[in-house]
């Protein structure tokens, strides 16, 4: 049974076809089927085929949150982010028309969650809605660590120069004592995600090398013990990208590409 929750796992149940015997009496023997008859077990539904991502746990982290703008003191507090401390969180970017990044991140994350779940993955979101504050960057990483996730992705949209457009994937750089165990798997994850996402969006033309960027200053990566990347889906301040980000049909295409990239990584031999 699939459990999509930020909290505990799912409750157990009796095996299919099992019948409790509360009185403790012995069951009567079943008659042997005669010619032309079918045993009861022969009518049972066939077992469900295993879905491609069954057994995989994915943490999807929608960047920022809807209440951050009204909680300056809370999101500005310093928290562990690797060798140094950083602000708990930030407000995020927005398009020229005022569409906020936190809302985009939440919407796209739900679309990704649904597609991953349909493929059999257990999906954990780092926040339950778009009305709260935070969580802090170290807490977002810890959610993935506690879930012992096979992979984690933080979904964002950039606030770059208005003349630049495109996406980039941020992978952890080497931070002694922090990121060494996840460097190689995170790099592979970043490449798989990039190679799928380029089908719906060009590489960023204002930073990063062929759609990849390696950073050592992000607490969400530095504090992670599981393979993790950030995806900057597009530039909210660019008119072409903004038109895509505000289009629900395009967000569906983006969710499909993200799911394909994560699946490509998870299904590697």
Contact (CB, 8 A) for 64 and 89:
yes
265 CB-side CA count, 13 A? 29
* Residue 226 structure tokens: 């599981």
Question: Which pLDDT score is estimated for 44?
Answer: 64
Residue 38 falls inside a structural domain: no
State the Cα–Cα distance between residues 66 and 84, nearest whole angstrom.
26
pLDDT band at 207 (very low <50, low <70, confident <90, very high): confident
Q: At residue 223, does pLDDT exceed 90?
A: yes
pLDDT in tens, 135-188: 999 999 999 999 999 999 999 999 999 999 999 999 999 999 999 999 999 999
The total of other beta-carbon atoms located within 10 Å of residue 38's CB is 8
Residue 239 falls inside a structural domain: yes
Residue 179 falls inside a structural domain: yes
State the Cα–Cα distance between residues 193 and 133, nearest whole angstrom.
28
* Residue 107 structure tokens: 């919407």
Handedness of CA 127, 132, 138, 139 (dihedral sign): negative
203 phi and psi angles, rounded to 5 deg? -60, 150
Contact (CB, 8 A) for 208 and 173:
no
Average pLDDT, stretch 194-223?
Answer: 95
Question: Which pLDDT score is estimated for 40?
Answer: 46
Question: Which pLDDT score is estimated for 42?
Answer: 55
Question: Which pLDDT score is estimated for 29?
Answer: 45
CATH number of the domain to which 237 belongs = 3.40.630.40
Q: At residue 129, does pLDDT exceed 70?
A: yes
Q: At residue 251, does pLDDT exceed 50?
A: yes
User: Domain count of the chain?
Assistant: 1
Residue 107 falls inside a structural domain: yes
pLDDT in tens, 86-100: 999 999 999 999 999
Q: What is the mean pLDDT of the chain?
A: 88
Residue 4 falls inside a structural domain: no
State the Cα–Cα distance between residues 92 and 83, nearest whole angstrom.
24
pLDDT in tens, 26-59: 343 444 444 444 444 556 666 667 899 999 999 9
- At a CB cut-off of 8 Å and minimum separation 6, what does 102 contact? 62, 63, 64, 65, 66, 68, 91, 92, 130
pTM for the whole structure: 0.82
Residue 255 falls inside a structural domain: yes
Share of the chain above pLDDT 90, in %: 80
Average pLDDT, stretch 226-234?
Answer: 98
Average pLDDT, stretch 224-253?
Answer: 98
**Size (the chain), residues:** 269
DSSP-derived letter for residue 93 is -
State the Cα–Cα distance between residues 30 and 38, nearest whole angstrom.
12
pLDDT band at 10 (very low <50, low <70, confident <90, very high): very low
Residue 188 falls inside a structural domain: yes
Question: Which pLDDT score is estimated for 7?
Answer: 37
Q: At residue 103, does pLDDT exceed 90?
A: yes
Q: At residue 64, does pLDDT exceed 60?
A: yes
Residue 230 falls inside a structural domain: yes
Question: Which pLDDT score is estimated for 31?
Answer: 45
Residue 188 is part of which domain span? 57-266
Which residues carry out catalysis?
232
State the Cα–Cα distance between residues 112 and 256, nearest whole angstrom.
7
Strands 151-158 and 168-172: unpaired
Nearest Cα to 258, choosing from 92, 46, 107, 77? 107
């Amino acid at each position: 049974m699939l459990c999509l929750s930020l909290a505990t796992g799912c409750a157990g149940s009796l095996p299919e076809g099992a019948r409790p015997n509360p009185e403790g009496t012995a069951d009567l023997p079943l008659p042997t089927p005669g010619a032309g008859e079918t045993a009861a077990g022969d009518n049972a539904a066939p077992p469900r085929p295993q879905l491609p991502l069954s057994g995989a746990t994915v943490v999807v982290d929608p960047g920022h949150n809807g209440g951050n703008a009204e909680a300056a003191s809370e999101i500005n507090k310093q928290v562990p982010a690797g060798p140094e401390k950083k602000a708990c969180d930030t407000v995020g970017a927005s398009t020229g028309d005022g569409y906020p990044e936190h809302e985009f991140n939440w919407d796209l994350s739900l679309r990704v969650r649904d597609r991953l779940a349909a493929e059999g993955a257990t999906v954990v979101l780092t926040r339950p809605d778009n009305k709260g504050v935070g969580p802090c960057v170290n807490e977002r990483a810890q959610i993935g660590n506690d879930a012992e996730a096979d992979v984690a992705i933080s979904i964002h949209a950039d606030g770059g120069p208005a003349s630049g457009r495109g996406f980039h994937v941020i992978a952890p750089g080497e931070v002694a004592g922090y990121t060494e165990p996840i460097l190689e798997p995170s790099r592979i994850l970043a490449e798989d995600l990039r190679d799928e996402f380029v089908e719906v969006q060009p590489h960023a033309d204002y930073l990063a090398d062929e759609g990849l960027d390696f950073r050592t200053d992000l607490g969400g990566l530095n504090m992670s013990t599981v393979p993790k990347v950030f995806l900057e889906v597009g530039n909210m301040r660019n008119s072409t990208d903004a038109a895509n980000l505000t289009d629900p049909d395009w967000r569906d295409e983006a969710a499909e590409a993200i799911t394909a990239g994560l699946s490509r990584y998870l299904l590697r031999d």
